[in-house]
Each structure stands twice: as C-alpha cells, then as structure tokens.
C-alpha cells in the first residue's frame, strides 16, 4: 500500500482539501499521513479522513523519508515559509526525501513559478489528484 504524506500549516485548508479528494479518489487503497506544522493543520487533515497524523518539525523530518509521495503547497519546500512555521529542518527533510513530490504552486512567500497557470485552488487540487493517480498506475 502506497503511503502519501500531505503536509500543510497554518489552518490546514489546502491539506484538508487534498486529503478529502485523495480519499474520494483512492478510498482505502492508500495510506494518508497528515503532517502539520501545527496542531490546527493536523487536526483539519485528520477530520478530512487521513489515516494518521503528526505535528511539528520532528514528525515531518522523521516521516518525510518513510513515504512514497509527499504533497502539499509549494511553501513546504521553502525554509521559513508559512510565516515561519516551516522550519529549515522541515524544508531540508522534505526536499531531500526520496519520495516523489507533487506540489501545488500556491504560496505567500514572494516566489513565483514561471509557467504555472494561476487557477483556483480546487482546480489545482484536481490536477494534483490526477497526477498522483497517474503516478500510482505507473508504479
């Protein structure tokens, strides 16, 4: 069974939407691990039906290397993002992980991804789910 880490911070809105749509698409065929930079984000993702959840720097650093896929907003790859919630250790663990990373190009860190279309969050998450589906079919 593939393990997918959904990482989010602040209120966990993006992460909870990702978890909800992953669960709708894959049911119980995948294990979803909610990793929040804070307990509010983790709780929101757990309510959206993640299998497991953990909070904080060590939880993210520990689990990043133990999953097949990491997903969330682009901010999870940027040290000090999310108003400082995303620590450099978290960003390093995420970007150094051998897991495939599928990130949504939304952030508030003054980083613009050139070529990424500006679309509403629900459209981006639908594309994310479709890409993860393709990847799981291939692997």
Q: Do 52 and 34 contact (CB within 8 A), yes or no?
A: yes
Closest CA to 45 of 8, 83, 84, 2: 8
Q: Do 9 and 17 contact (CB within 8 A), yes or no?
A: no
Tokens 């709780």 appear where? 43
Mean per-residue pLDDT over the chain, rounded: 95
Helix count and strand count (H, E) for the chain: 5, 5
Which three-class secondary structure state does DSSP give residue 55? Answer: strand
Band of pLDDT at residue 118, cut at 50, 70 and 90: confident
Which of 23-27, 57-61, 90-94, 114-118 has the least mean pLDDT?
Answer: 114-118
Tell me the two tokens of residue 65.
Answer: 């290397």
Model-level pTM?
0.95
In this predicted structure, the answer to whether residue 139 has a pLDDT above a threshold of 80 is no
Q: How many domains does the chain have?
A: 1
pLDDT tens for 73-109 read 999 999 999 999 999 999 999 999 999 999 999 867 7
pLDDT score, position 107: 67
Tell me the two tokens of residue 86.
Answer: 């995303």
In this predicted structure, the answer to whether residue 126 has a pLDDT above a threshold of 90 is yes
pLDDT score, position 64: 98
Q: 58 lies in which domain range?
A: 2-138
Band of pLDDT at residue 133, cut at 50, 70 and 90: very high
Can you list the alpha helix ranges (DSSP code H) found in 1-139? 13-26, 39-47, 57-64, 88-96, 121-138
Average pLDDT on 15-43 reads 98
Tell me the two tokens of residue 36.
Answer: 């929040």
CA-to-CA distance for 121 and 134, rounded, in angstroms? 20
Band of pLDDT at residue 24, cut at 50, 70 and 90: very high
Q: What is the CATH number of the domain that holds 49?
A: 3.40.50.720
């Amino acid at each position: 069974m593939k393990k997918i880490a959904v990482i989010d911070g602040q209120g966990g809105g993006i992460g909870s939407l990702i978890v909800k749509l992953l669960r709708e698409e894959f049911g119980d065929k995948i294990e979803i691990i909610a990793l929040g930079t804070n307990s509010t984000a983790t709780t929101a993702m757990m309510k959206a039906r993640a299998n497991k959840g953990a909070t904080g720097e060590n939880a993210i650093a520990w689990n990043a290397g133990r999953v097949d896929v990491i997903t969330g907003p682009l901010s999870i790859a940027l040290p000090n993002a999310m108003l400082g919630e995303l620590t450099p250790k978290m960003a390093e663990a995420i970007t150094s992980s051998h897991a495939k990373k599928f990130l949504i190009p939304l952030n508030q860190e003054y980083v613009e991804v050139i070529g990424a279309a500006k679309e509403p969050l629900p459209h981006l998450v639908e594309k994310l789910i479709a890409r993860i589906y393709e990847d799981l079919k291939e692997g």
